[in-house]
Structure 1
Amino acid sequence: MSKHYDYIVVGAGSAGCVLAGRLSEDPSVQVLLLEAGPPDTSVWLHLPIGYGKTMWSTKYNWCLHTDPDPNMNGRRIYWPRGKTLGGSSAINGLIYIRGQRQDYDHWAELGNTGWSYDDVLPYFIKSETNELGATPHHGDSGPLRVSNIHHKHELIEAFLSGAQEIGVPRTTDFNGEDQEGAGYYQLTTHKGLRCSTATAYLRPARKRSNLTIISNARATGLIMDGTRAAGVNYLVGNTRQSAQLNPNGEVLLSAGAIYSPQLLQLSGIGPASLLQERGIPVVADIPGVGENLQDHLQIRLGFECTKPITTNDALNSLWGKFNMGLQWLTRREGPLAIGINQGGCFMRALPSESPTPDIQFHVATLSADMAGGKVHPYSGFTFSVCQLRPESRGHVRIKSTDPLETPEIQPNYLDTDLDRRTTVAGVKAARAIAQTEAMRPYVKREVKPGPQAESDEDLLEFARDTGATIFHPSGTCRMGPDGDAMAVLDPQLRVRGVQGLRVIDASSMPTLISGNTNAPVVMMAEKVVDLMREERRQ
């Protein structure tokens, strides 16, 4: 007989570790956390610069690819996703961004009661210990460590000055009252090490007798009792196992924007037409499951630097590598402690159409053919720019009843006129900064897209040929109010028409927030734990 649990959490990522850590604080409940990947034991999962290693690790990364996207000249685009305790928070670029006040107010305007900025701010504050200290916008006693970048890099300083030349003010806090500005990013690090959600929330909870963690456990579907979730089937190696819920228990899907909708569809919860085509009995006809896929498309401009001051130079030299290691060992500083992107900005590419920033820059003091790839042999740096609130929508749909088969992933990038115009304007903004008086002494040449790309049509074609994910897929199980036929979840993140089942991860977002998604997902999990506790008290 399998053990019974009050909560079964599927996926130990940015949300799942928060859920398991917080829910197990109550000794009266039994919590099971299932993670498809292995434990987070590799040193590369804890060194911030390990991002370059785990980007391609099939052990710790799902290494997904989209289906051919007709808007991207038929390319299949690489989508890395975390597969270990901590999920994508264990392999991401570490950047701590919440988004804009208007993002969450828009969620509330869509009918998602309780998700306005004023509603969610307390949970951002609760989740963090921020180096900025306790302020009206930040916390100093939460599990997630958020640190400043202390060493100022010559190239980043030039970028910030160049941004000021084109009218973007300098800022010290992208997560304060106003996001707009140029500055150094804060990172989810502490004393030179990554602070994933596994480190922040799971490590303190491991000793609790009411928390069971099973790694290398691939969920294959839900156990349904009519329209009530009763448990989860999963594989450990080739062995089929199951976990059962206690009466009134809940399954909490936190498998991410790809695998949460896949698990629902495999379990008969989703668009009836799709399920019937795949020969799956329909438990709940919810047409929005797997639809509404959104992502930030990044366009990377590469430059050769006039000075040997880039991370390329350090990585291409034995002395440079030794010095990087020495900096980390003696002071917990340097490139090993801060990852890839140090600075950036939020600005308006189309100021007449957007009252708030509509593009984001990530500035890296290195260059490679793609994020996490082998650095170029010359001194190089990268401006990566993305549209913050894309209109384009894609989908995730199972191809068969095989739970181990990757579903169809169609991002449908650049599908709308606004997305195309904003992307082109973003590339132009990056070029404008590179051509400022502050940046000119550092730019030997623009490698990509290069001087041959002059017209808007050229720049759009460059985006189609080279654009890639910046790792923020979301929206495929979105929440919404009663009467919204495409809403998968209610504002408490409960699956509509099904009992004992919630989805809590980036797939729950109705619209993509304006920035990196890790911190918002942590906030969502913190908030839902409070909602669940309140329901249990009633």
Structure 2
Amino acid sequence: MSVIEDDFDFIVIGGGSAGCLLANRLSADAGNRVLLLEAGKVDSYPWIHIPVGYLYCIGNPRTDWMYNTEADKGLNGRTLRYPRGKTLGGCSSINGMIYMRGQARDYDNWAKLSGEDAWNWDNCLRDFMAHEDHQKLDGGGDPKTGDNSRFSDLHGHGGEWRVEKQRLRWDVLDSFADAATQAGIDKTDDFNSGDNAGVGYFDVNQRSGWRWNTSKAFLRPAKSRPNLTLWTEAQVEKLTFARDENGALRCSGAQVNRKGQTVSVTARRETILSAGAINSPQILQLSGIGPAALLQEHGIEVLRDAPVGENLQDHLQIRAVYKVKGTRTLNTLAGNMLGKAMIGAEYLLKRSGPMSMSPSQLGAFTRSDPSQTHANLEYHVQPLSLEAFGEDLHDFPAITVSVCNLNPTSRGHVRIRSNNFRDAPMISPNYLATEDDRKVAADSLRQVREIMSKPAMQPYQPEEYKPGPQYQSDEDLAKLAGDIANTIFHPVGTVKMGRADDDTAVLDPHLRLKGVSGLRVVDASVMPEITSGNTNSPTLMIAEKAARWILASQ
């Protein structure tokens, strides 16, 4: 097998959310020669671009890495499907399209944990706004009041990352929002002000009814630049390293399997690893950077003993299903061929209706109990139900009220299974491992019941189908959470950034690998703690900030 060598200024590994933005920013200077590597194919698969197409992208090897977790004790021994995007755009090509920043306190806490003020909310807000293009600012003013001064202080317009209101509503979801208000949750029209407490419809990353992924947003405008090289179907086997005359370790580039051929590429300035919270630690471990005992077990030379792959955090959502009466739900609307044909025709003609849906339309953020100092729960409410993701809709009208603990205290890990880059890593989220997480799970299910009991929902005669009203004790509800809960696809934290004296941190506050020059990690794996909401847009913010740091480094 031949080996081809080539030199670049920057190598970006991973053409997902962070990688597409980085490729755009780094190649904006014509003097920088940039290589972007993506293990998947181009994002030409039609279902990527139709919002409801996530149903056909998740669990599809054309667009998904097809990972599964190890058997999880907190889930009563179950394993979960663990989707990760494998195409240009990465997870932004298969995710729920929800635009969510999290809470200001998340970033202020990152600043404290890292000792770097650049991570506080005010500074991160600038990076969110730098690439945002919010529909509400089209035309410059609020259609009702003409004044958008407060909104424009918090949101951007004219950037690459399009944010729009959803293109449909449901009576039963409007009633759920009213019931939540009756339960003490105020309504909100902006989850992204730094305090996301409230109930309302999610903003989504769509443009005129089409999914807006990071490949369209950031890569498409840069593809014609002669200094940007894009390789798809190019999976990194390992990073390569060299030592200087003093023995200091420097990342020199990567060894890449490109359509069956091994290719060595070198980076004069930096190699940036943006393969995500699962693949970035896998690549580092395969390259000799990780827990020494793990690497030695698989016959890999230990270049640096570091806690790579530890600190895995994820949002576990508990799916409560309620049968309803006297209202439209997707179960009944799409329950026959005529209904499906009408749904297809509406999307074809108007780019609206169920085919324009994100997986979750209505959201809510609130406290699991009054002792909490902030909203620690997120609801995703859907006008549909099914036994498990990927299965057929139920044949009765129903809604699903999914709720997740935003700040789990359980920690898992990602570890290589072998020294073969083709072997999927072992993913162990370790859900519901702490008493705090089990209590929040039980409290959240009780809160769902409280909301569903409010007057606004009574016209629909809601009947609890899952988990079932017979389960009442904390112990029962926590066990039931393990039986019915699923990942909401937000893994983070496996290549943690932090202070120099933090032995659990792999990276310094500027995302450089400690003890190794020429290597930075820029993706969701760097988060020291998970954000209080969906994680795609925070990953873009991280990449925006990192791009400035990388360009400023000489």
Number of residue equivalences: 532
1:441 aligns with 2:465: no
Contact 2:237 2:256 (C-alpha < 8 Å) held by counterparts: yes
- Identify if the C-alpha distance between structure 1 residues 177 and 238 changes in structure 2 by more than 3 Å, giving closer, same or farther: closer
1:290 aligns with 2:294: no
Residue in structure 2 matched with residue 107 of structure 1 by the alignment? 110
Residue in structure 2 matched with residue 14 of structure 1 by the alignment? 17
TM-score normalised per structure 1: 0.97
AA in 1 matched with 2:358: G
Displacement of 1:314 in angstroms is: 2.2
Q: How does 1:2-81 map to 2 (within 5 A)?
A: 2-81=5-84
Cα separation, 2, equivalents of 1:465 and 1:195: 34
Residue in structure 2 matched with residue 344 of structure 1 by the alignment? 363
1:185 aligns with 2:202: yes
Residue in structure 2 matched with residue 528 of structure 1 by the alignment? 546
Q: How does 1:157-172 map to 2 (within 5 A)?
A: 157-172=174-189
- Identify if the C-alpha distance between structure 1 residues 186 and 372 changes in structure 2 by more than 3 Å, giving closer, same or farther: farther
Contact 2:167 2:353 (C-alpha < 8 Å) held by counterparts: no
Cα separation, 2, equivalents of 1:177 and 1:254: 26
Residue in structure 1 matched with residue 131 of structure 2 by the alignment? 127
Displacement of 1:372 in angstroms is: 4.3
Displacement of 1:49 in angstroms is: 0.5
Contact 2:172 2:327 (C-alpha < 8 Å) held by counterparts: no
Displacement of 1:268 in angstroms is: 0.7
Describe the superposition over 1:306-365 as per-residue Cα deviations: whole angstroms up to 9, x where unpaired: 13511122221222222222222222211111222110100000221x211000000111
Displacement of 1:519 in angstroms is: 0.4
Per mean C-alpha deviation after superposition, the further-off stretch among 3-12 and 364-373 is: 364-373
Cα separation, 2, equivalents of 1:67 and 1:151: 38
Partner of 2:219, secondary structure, is helix
Cα separation, 1, equivalents of 2:549 and 2:357: 35
Describe the superposition over 1:231-279 as per-residue Cα deviations: whole angstroms up to 9, x where unpaired: 1111123221221222xx2111111111101111111111222222222
Partner of 1:438, secondary structure, is helix
Cα root mean square deviation, aligned: 1.3
Describe the superposition over 1:87-127 as per-residue Cα deviations: whole angstroms up to 9, x where unpaired: 01100011111000000000111134010101100011112
Residue in structure 2 matched with residue 95 of structure 1 by the alignment? 98
1:424 aligns with 2:424: no
Displacement of 1:150 in angstroms is: 4.3
Partner of 1:21, secondary structure, is helix
Partner of 1:110, secondary structure, is helix
Cα separation, 2, equivalents of 1:372 and 1:13: 23
Cα separation, 2, equivalents of 1:177 and 1:473: 21
Describe the superposition over 1:439-464 as per-residue Cα deviations: whole angstroms up to 9, x where unpaired: 12224421110122222222111111
1:208 aligns with 2:225: yes
Q: Quick one: which of 495, 502, 507 aligns to 1:484?
A: 502
Cα separation, 2, equivalents of 1:401 and 1:150: 47
Describe the superposition over 1:60-96 as per-residue Cα deviations: whole angstroms up to 9, x where unpaired: 1012111111222111111111100000110001111
Per mean C-alpha deviation after superposition, the further-off stretch among 439-448 and 337-346 is: 439-448
Cα separation, 2, equivalents of 1:490 and 1:132: 37
Residue in structure 2 matched with residue 463 of structure 1 by the alignment? 481
Cα separation, 2, equivalents of 1:420 and 1:242: 48
Cα separation, 2, equivalents of 1:372 and 1:492: 40
Cα separation, 2, equivalents of 1:479 and 1:275: 21
Contact 2:47 2:57 (C-alpha < 8 Å) held by counterparts: yes
Residue in structure 2 matched with residue 280 of structure 1 by the alignment? 300
Displacement of 1:370 in angstroms is: 2.2
1:138 aligns with 2:141: no
Displacement of 1:380 in angstroms is: 1.9
Cα separation, 1, equivalents of 2:358 and 2:192: 20
Describe the superposition over 1:275-319 as per-residue Cα deviations: whole angstroms up to 9, x where unpaired: 222221111121x21100000011001122213511122221222
Describe the superposition over 1:174-196 as per-residue Cα deviations: whole angstroms up to 9, x where unpaired: 00142100000000001000011
Residue in structure 2 matched with residue 304 of structure 1 by the alignment? 323
Structure 2's unaligned 5+ residue stretches are: 138-150, 244-248
Contact 1:340 1:365 (C-alpha < 8 Å) held by counterparts: no
Cα separation, 2, equivalents of 1:443 and 1:21: 52
Identity of matched residues, %:
44
Residue in structure 2 matched with residue 224 of structure 1 by the alignment? 241
1:118 aligns with 2:137: no
Describe the superposition over 1:201-241 as per-residue Cα deviations: whole angstroms up to 9, x where unpaired: 01111111111111111111001113111111111232212
Partner of 1:415, secondary structure, is coil
Cα separation, 1, equivalents of 2:396 and 2:296: 55
Partner of 2:381, secondary structure, is strand
Residue in structure 2 matched with residue 238 of structure 1 by the alignment? 260
Cα separation, 2, equivalents of 1:19 and 1:478: 19
- Identify if the C-alpha distance between structure 1 residues 50 and 112 changes in structure 2 by more than 3 Å, giving closer, same or farther: farther
TM-score normalised per structure 2: 0.94
Contact 1:342 1:362 (C-alpha < 8 Å) held by counterparts: yes
Residue in structure 1 matched with residue 343 of structure 2 by the alignment? 324
Describe the superposition over 1:361-383 as per-residue Cα deviations: whole angstroms up to 9, x where unpaired: 00111111223432112212100
1:194 aligns with 2:208: no
Structure 1's unaligned 5+ residue stretches are: none
Cα separation, 2, equivalents of 1:372 and 1:115: 38
Cα separation, 2, equivalents of 1:154 and 1:68: 39
Residue in structure 2 matched with residue 264 of structure 1 by the alignment? 284
Partner of 1:346, secondary structure, is strand
Contact 1:132 1:138 (C-alpha < 8 Å) held by counterparts: no
Describe the superposition over 1:395-448 as per-residue Cα deviations: whole angstroms up to 9, x where unpaired: 111122111111121111111111111111111111111111111222442111
Cα separation, 2, equivalents of 1:533 and 1:58: 35
AA in 2 matched with 1:254: S
AA in 2 matched with 1:420: R
AA in 1 matched with 2:263: Q
Residue in structure 1 matched with residue 382 of structure 2 by the alignment? 364
- Identify if the C-alpha distance between structure 1 residues 526 and 450 changes in structure 2 by more than 3 Å, giving closer, same or farther: same
Cα separation, 1, equivalents of 2:516 and 2:251: 7
Cα separation, 2, equivalents of 1:78 and 1:181: 30
- Identify if the C-alpha distance between structure 1 residues 243 and 307 changes in structure 2 by more than 3 Å, giving closer, same or farther: farther
